[in-house]
Structure 1
Amino acid sequence: MKQTTVLILLIGLHVFTFAQQTRFISDPQKDLKQAKDYYQKEQYSLAYPILKDLQLRQRDAEKTSEALDYQEVRYYTTACALRQNEEAAVQLAKDFIDLEDNTARVQMMSFNLAEYYYRKQDFAAATALYENVSIDNLSNEEIADMKFHLGYSYFTAKEYDKAKPLFDAIRQLPKDKNYLDANYYYGFIAFNDRKYNDALTAFRVVENDKNYKNVVPYYIANIYYTQNQKEKALTYAEERLKSGGQQYDTELRHLLGHAYFEKQEFKKAVPYLEAFVTKSDKVSREDLYELSYSYYKASNWTKAIEGFKQLGGKDDSLAQNSMYLLGDSYLKTNQKANARTAFLVCASNSSNAKQREISMFNYAKLSYELGYTDVSLTEFKKFLDTYANSEYANEARELLVNVLANTNNYQEALRMIEAMPASSQNARRQYAKILYGRATELANDGMLVSANELLTKAEADPNNMSYRPYIQFWKGEIAYRLNKIDDAIRYYFEYLKSGAVNG
């Protein structure tokens, strides 16, 4: 009985072993076909275990048999692993590329390895492989993928001239999955190349796409503005800002602020420029000037002053103009001392001759008004020496006459006032004072006749009321010294009647 049982078991084991051997011999092609079918459908997780099992089941002697193409199994197993981003497959792929002699499969493996590197964002490694892949053994979809991915790899390396035609090729395939992305990147490169019509065409394709609707409006608005479609740029930019969520929100506000600044609509420019300057990490001097000038034109003197103060320190026209407007802003707020300093800085810059002229005059005038007498005396003389024919020359002369009179420099004051036209009424109001002062100097020097002539002029001047009693006194004094007693009595009597003497 025991022998019978053992015999049955042995027969069963032999049948089972034979069945397994038969399955191994007869099933590999079917399994490989199934795995390849999964692979083509991109069901890599289903294909991969079958392929791995096929590799394990093959014996060394069978790797070269006709039952199964070992190289084909190896190719699909490695390619499938790469598609699943298995790092261990990288070296297997490199070995396959280096060692196998099947050109078509080597090319396809190179493509798969390039795609792996692309997904891992190792664009340099991907580029090196893509550049050596022939499209002869790739499907149309794979060719399109490779063109876009190689284009993007070039793009990341800023090799835009190489990337552009590849993106353009995908732009001709509206049904391709990378169609929208290709249009965006092509538009970006065209914009960078100043090919604005090409850029606009590409950007309009993606302007409402969820991935780009908050990006491309900045470029489109810029293109309109650059093409001198400024009203269209303004309308478009404002509409996109209202929709919210713009990635280049600050830059769009900058564009709008600058556009309104150029249109001299300064009140509209202010909020946009203000937002740009406030939000930006780094602001150019030109941008700060536009904001400050807009404040100035909107009569916001305080903020204009705050901005212009930051724009000095350079020897260029922007710095000079800023100091000029800073000085004027200080005058508008009655800060004469600060205005005087601003005009001094402006006058030291020769970028704008007219502003230098005006600032030099204002500095002298403010020095006079603030009591810097010696400075004003020097500055008025310097101004008149430099700008003798200036529209401010007459006022400068009048003010200089006042300075000379107030510093008892009557001789020079008299010379200047008598050389001035009769229309200089402000200076003429000082005429009697100057005549009187110079006459007393001459009288004290013993030049009585010359002194008397000046006093006679002073006596006849209609603006002599403040000095008339003293003129009469000195007329009497000189007449007495010249032994003209009757004239002396008359002038002394007039002096006493004036009430200028108390007691």
Structure 2
Amino acid sequence: MVKRKLFLKKLTYLIILFFAINTNVLSQKTTIYTHDNATYNSALELYDKEKFSAAQEKFAQVLQHIKNDKSEIAVDAMYYHALCGLELFNIDAENLLIKFIYAYPESPKVKLAYFHLGKYHFRKKDYDEALKWFEKIDIYDLSEEELAEYHFKIGYSHFMKKEYEKASTSFYEIKDVDTKYTSSAKYYYGHIAYLQKKYESALQTFLTLSNDEKFSPIVPYYITQIYYLQKNYSKVIEYAPALLDTALPKRVPEISRLIGEAYYNTNKFSESIPYLKRFHKEKTTEISRTDNYELGYAYYKTDSCELAIVWFKKAIGKDDSLTQTTHYHIAECYLKLGEKKYARNSFRIASQLEFDPQIKEDALFSFAKISYELSIHPYNDAIIAFEEFINTYPNSAKLNDAYEFLVAVYFTTKNYEAALASLEKIKNKNIQLEEAYQKIAYYRGIELFNNRKYPEAILHFDKSDTYQLDKKIKADNCYWRAEAYYRLDKNEQAIAAYKKYIFEPEAIVANQVNKAHYSIGYAYFNLKEYNNANEWFRKYVQNAKEENTKIKNDALNRIGDCFYITKDYKAAIEYYDKAALLGLDKLDYSLYQSAVVNGVVGNYNDKISLLNTLINRKEKSHLLDDAIFHLAKTQLIINETDNALVNFQLLIKDYPNSPYLSQALIKEGLIYYNRKDDQNALIAFKTVVTNYTETDDAKEALQKIKKIYIDKGELGSYEDYLVSIGGADSSIMVMDEDYFEVAENSYMKNKCDKAVNELTKYLEKYPNGNYVLNAHYYKADCEYRSGFEDEALINFNYIIEQPKNKFSESALLKAGQLNTNLGKPEDALNNYSQLEYLADIPSNVFIAQVEQMRLNFQLKRPDEAIKYCELIINKDIDDANLITEAHLIYGKAVLEKDDYNLALKEFTTASTSANVFGAEAKYNVAYILCLRGEHEKCEAEVFSLIKKFSSYSYWIGKSLILLADNYVATTDFFQAKVTLKNVIDNSKFPELVNTASEKLAIIEQQEAAQKIVEEEPILDLNLTNDKNLEKLFNEKEEVIEEDLPELNKIIDSEIEDKFKDE
């Protein structure tokens, strides 16, 4: 088409030359007209020499002096004068040329004026105006050279307006014609084809430019890219490597990527790795997630799993299909490396994303299966996952496997609560699931029992009995149900449950029947049904196989108690003596009780002998003050007055807090009184009145004091004494007994509302009455039982503030409990400290020590806490939970003192327990290991905690947060984030979720700060440094070179989009 047009134009020119008067009208380089005007000719010469300023002056002179403005020379002068202005970029140049067009519309130079105006606007990059003037041109008026220029510039103008079809048409007209614009036209024609994804056309065009002086530096990159985009990877592999030797450094990374991608897409992963690595190494800006994934996948396919994981982790970003696929492959890599715990995390995330259904299904099953295999269930993961799998994929080929695993995980998980909840969702259970339900409900009941949640434990033992398939578990349910009732003080229900257990066949097999006999005995004992209790305790003793046991010793003592209470003293002595013969830790009790009963039946010598044995034992007994007091009393009975006085005085001196102290003082006073030693008698009696005001002992002592003064005839001295003690006599002698008795009767009948009202009235009426102490205690006890804690505390404190009395011990115990409940640890600690010092009941002393251990630690007094921890740990007690708690507190206390070694020892000991204290201790073991930088051990400890203590979700969450910190310390931010997200998604504790969220945000901020975000084209096709191209894209003839970077961005954007598609 172009060639035909050129031929027709030549023919036209010949005709014009033949017929026209002026033969060179359309030539760009104006032939000098033969003209008489020398000035005009001189101007034309200057114009042809491109001396436009001088030429314009000459043409102006011509126009100034010429008389006929219609003459040919006048027309031509005006035309050239305007062209000189265009070349000089004069402000009025365009207007001069337009003026010419309107002044001489018939002039043959008007067509050329259009062309020059188009070029003028093209040079100014005003492509709309350029096209407006170019479109007025008749191409047959242009020379070959002008026609080529016309097609190129009109094509480029359309190109810059993104009118690619029109641009392509114009470039097509000259791309195969030999002109100075040919190679440029080919380049842009090929580039437009490239943009329009006409890759084959673009390829063929660029191939013709392979040896072009101007474009050979750039077309190889197009050719490489097109081969890639055409998925002609063998051509990429064949063509592109040679470019690496000559390419500019900044182009090397992307060429390497194209080659690596080509190998990658032909499954030649081993060959792809060197090129992909070079791309990653030499790329100076941020690498895309896809690029990281591909290098990771190449390593994965070549079994370089450790390296694969490194690059896969860098490919993870927002929730999308790439993230899901990447997590799945990370999981597979960890499996190949034998790191199931890490694989589990990545399968979890892949299963939570919805982009690839097949990956989601397989990842969910794999996550559940690995959780089961590892016995790691931080949030009941395996159970929930298998349930989800079964519900979501009812037609899966793995459905039967899922059911089998679900049943298996019920038995292996330690989280019986979650397992039971899962089973209860299944309405139609087969025999296998019914067996599972029976066992898991039972295990959950035992777990609750061990945590002292007895009502909930009973509920689960009942649930277990829903399916009575396993006879042993059925029997065990009976036993532990009875134990729970017993600990709830529901003795009637406990007795019934124990008796039911006795008749279970499996109970006999388990050899637990006799233990039930013992427990039934205690339940009856608590009910004060002593004959029944006696019967069951004796059944236990008769069937006990081991002679020297603590339980047998205790049972013998309880039999003795039963006989003593029912006044069968001979039998009581017999069983106390049997217990004493065992020589165990209750020997002091057996000796004391036997002595008491011997005293009751008048065997005073035996009583004295037994009490002396007790007193003289090497082991100190809490019954020593009891023994000394009763020894002295017995000696007094048999008229061994001197010995009695010695022992009473021993008690008074060595046991100032003994409840027998006031009685010992009265006995001492009586001995002195009988000896006529009134002075010492008065001292003893007055001590009782002063220290035990408002007690019966004080009343008795005051009567003795009065008698002594009367006997001596010193009533005045007695009156003075009464005044000195503030009228003690009146407070004791007031006849308020009847009024108090009414209130006391209500209290004894457990009518607490009425009793509180009556006791309040009594205290208001008789603030110094004989029964004020009793009234305050009864009132406090009723308020305590009714939940009026503040009011009860006021009355208990009144008791505590009085000299030691019969209510002091109980008041201190309950005040300590109330202050603890009310958040007053300092006051509670003070109560328990006094209780330990004043208590006579061993169990209360022990309670005081336990609570001081707890409260001292709570109040950050580690040394005191440690003291009581050691005391409890060294006691011979059967409460394993308490021993574990003591080791735990011991560990935390020494940890506060930075003694990591001892703390670790104590935590390790405590962590062997399966209760909540064990869970906390296990956490602290991991915590210390993390502090020490023993990160592998810390991780192992956390996983051990999750496996062993899966029921304790708080400590699971804490340990996972610690594990995340441990990962951060080893710069494994990927695992840290996965772990924290697990807590955020599953924990029910807001404080843990908040902590995990804060830590996750910090990690993500740190990662973001490390990234260098900078936009850069995939391939920089900037040609501005090419000197050959500068000649083409010069100011006068061609595209301004600064347009090319924008072109490059267009090219690069297309390639980047293609990579994303891939």
Compared CA separation, residues 349 and 58, structure 1 to 2 (3 A): closer
Instruction: Tell me the distance in 1 between the aligned counterparts of 2:250 and 2:156.
Output: 21
Instruction: Tell me the distance in 2 between the aligned counterparts of 1:442 and 1:363.
Output: 35
What is the match of residue 37 of structure 2?
Answer: 29
Per mean C-alpha deviation after superposition, the further-off stretch among 164-173 and 330-339 is: 330-339
User: In the TM superposition, what are the counterparts of 1:354-369 in structure 2 within 5 Å?
Assistant: 354-368=358-372, 369=374
Compared CA separation, residues 165 and 361, structure 1 to 2 (3 A): closer
Determine if contact 2:289/2:317 at 8 Å carries over to the other structure.
Answer: no
Q: CA deviation at 1:59?
A: 4.0
Determine if contact 1:266/1:297 at 8 Å carries over to the other structure.
Answer: yes
Instruction: Tell me the distance in 1 between the aligned counterparts of 2:284 and 2:217.
Output: 19
SS of equivalent to 2:37: helix
Residues 165-191 of structure 1: CA deviation (Å, up to 9, x unaligned): 2111112312x1111101111111222
SS of equivalent to 2:162: coil
**2:387 matched to 1:382?**
yes
Per mean C-alpha deviation after superposition, the further-off stretch among 192-201 and 269-278 is: 269-278
**2:104 matched to 1:72?**
no
User: In the TM superposition, what are the counterparts of 1:169-248 in structure 2 within 5 Å?
Assistant: 169-174=173-178, 176-227=179-230, 229-245=232-248
Q: CA deviation at 1:334?
A: 6.2
Compared CA separation, residues 349 and 406, structure 1 to 2 (3 A): closer
What is the match of residue 253 of structure 1?
Answer: 256
Instruction: Tell me the distance in 2 between the aligned counterparts of 1:227 and 1:406.
Output: 55
Q: CA deviation at 1:395?
A: 8.1
What residue identity is the alignment partner of 2:183? L
Q: Which of residues 43, 47, 70 in structure 1 aligns to 2:49?
A: 43
**2:404 matched to 1:397?**
yes
Q: Which of residues 112, 125, 130 in structure 1 aligns to 2:129?
A: 125
Determine if contact 2:227/2:236 at 8 Å carries over to the other structure.
Answer: yes
Whose Rg is larger?
Answer: 2
Determine if contact 2:296/2:307 at 8 Å carries over to the other structure.
Answer: no
Residues 322-341 of structure 1: CA deviation (Å, up to 9, x unaligned): 22112334455666555433
Determine if contact 1:324/1:342 at 8 Å carries over to the other structure.
Answer: yes
What is the match of residue 155 of structure 1?
Answer: 159
Structure 1's unaligned 5+ residue stretches are: 1-25, 421-436, 453-472, 482-491, 493-503
Residues 195-248 of structure 1: CA deviation (Å, up to 9, x unaligned): 333322321221233432232223222333455532122211222233213886
Determine if contact 2:190/2:205 at 8 Å carries over to the other structure.
Answer: yes
What residue identity is the alignment partner of 1:111? F
What is the match of residue 6 of structure 1?
Answer: none
Instruction: Tell me the distance in 2 between the aligned counterparts of 1:111 and 1:373.
Output: 81
Instruction: Tell me the distance in 1 between the aligned counterparts of 2:114 and 2:97.
Output: 8
Q: CA deviation at 1:310?
A: 4.3
What is the match of residue 266 of structure 1?
Answer: 269
**2:149 matched to 1:145?**
yes
Residues 87-135 of structure 1: CA deviation (Å, up to 9, x unaligned): 5523322322343323422221221122122233332222221111223
SS of equivalent to 1:342: helix
Q: CA deviation at 1:159?
A: 0.8
Q: CA deviation at 1:49?
A: 2.0
Instruction: Tell me the distance in 1 between the aligned counterparts of 2:94 and 2:121.
Output: 9
Compared CA separation, residues 160 and 357, structure 1 to 2 (3 A): closer
What is the match of residue 311 of structure 1?
Answer: 316
**Percent identity (aligned):** 27
Residues 353-398 of structure 1: CA deviation (Å, up to 9, x unaligned): 4433332233334444264266145236516734676558548735
What residue identity is the alignment partner of 2:120? Y
Instruction: Tell me the distance in 1 between the aligned counterparts of 2:250 and 2:204.
Output: 21
Determine if contact 1:126/1:153 at 8 Å carries over to the other structure.
Answer: yes
Residues 300-357 of structure 1: CA deviation (Å, up to 9, x unaligned): 535534544643542x543322221123344556665554332222122344444333
What residue identity is the alignment partner of 1:189? I
Residues 400-433 of structure 1: CA deviation (Å, up to 9, x unaligned): 536515649799999549999xxxxxxxxxxxxx
SS of equivalent to 1:69: helix
Compared CA separation, residues 191 and 419, structure 1 to 2 (3 A): farther
Instruction: Tell me the distance in 2 between the aligned counterparts of 1:371 and 1:199.
Output: 59
Instruction: Tell me the distance in 2 between the aligned counterparts of 1:203 and 1:447.
Output: 98
Determine if contact 1:364/1:375 at 8 Å carries over to the other structure.
Answer: no
What residue identity is the alignment partner of 2:474? L
What is the match of residue 441 of structure 1?
Answer: 473
Compared CA separation, residues 64 and 87, structure 1 to 2 (3 A): closer
Q: Which of residues 55, 70, 91 in structure 1 aligns to 2:60?
A: 55
What is the match of residue 915 of structure 2?
Answer: none
Q: CA deviation at 1:249?
A: 4.8
Q: CA deviation at 1:37?
A: 5.2
Instruction: Tell me the distance in 2 between the aligned counterparts of 1:378 and 1:115.
Output: 78
Instruction: Tell me the distance in 1 between the aligned counterparts of 2:378 and 2:197.
Output: 59
What residue identity is the alignment partner of 1:72? D
Q: Which of residues 335, 342, 345 in structure 2 aligns to 1:341?
A: 345
User: In the TM superposition, what are the counterparts of 1:75-94 in structure 2 within 5 Å?
Assistant: 75-94=79-98
RMSD value over aligned CA atoms?
Answer: 4.2
SS of equivalent to 1:190: helix
Determine if contact 2:56/2:85 at 8 Å carries over to the other structure.
Answer: no
Instruction: Tell me the distance in 2 between the aligned counterparts of 1:385 and 1:57.
Output: 101
Determine if contact 2:299/2:308 at 8 Å carries over to the other structure.
Answer: yes
Determine if contact 1:35/1:50 at 8 Å carries over to the other structure.
Answer: yes
Compared CA separation, residues 28 and 474, structure 1 to 2 (3 A): farther
Determine if contact 2:39/2:62 at 8 Å carries over to the other structure.
Answer: no
Per mean C-alpha deviation after superposition, the further-off stretch among 198-207 and 91-100 is: 91-100
SS of equivalent to 2:267: coil
TM, length-normalised to structure 1: 0.68
* Larger RCO: 1 or 2 (CA < 8 Å, sep 6+): 2
What residue identity is the alignment partner of 1:36? L
Determine if contact 1:261/1:269 at 8 Å carries over to the other structure.
Answer: yes
Instruction: Tell me the distance in 2 between the aligned counterparts of 1:205 and 1:247.
Output: 26
Determine if contact 2:134/2:154 at 8 Å carries over to the other structure.
Answer: yes
Instruction: Tell me the distance in 1 between the aligned counterparts of 2:46 and 2:176.
Output: 30
Determine if contact 1:313/1:319 at 8 Å carries over to the other structure.
Answer: yes
What is the match of residue 486 of structure 1?
Answer: none
What is the match of residue 897 of structure 2?
Answer: none
Compared CA separation, residues 264 and 270, structure 1 to 2 (3 A): same
Determine if contact 1:380/1:400 at 8 Å carries over to the other structure.
Answer: no
TM, length-normalised to structure 2: 0.35
Runs of 4+ with >6 A deviation? 408-414, 417-420, 447-450, 475-478
SS of equivalent to 1:117: helix
Q: How many residues align?
A: 415
Determine if contact 2:390/2:403 at 8 Å carries over to the other structure.
Answer: no
Determine if contact 1:31/1:50 at 8 Å carries over to the other structure.
Answer: no
Q: Which of residues 288, 293, 296 in structure 2 aligns to 1:289?
A: 293
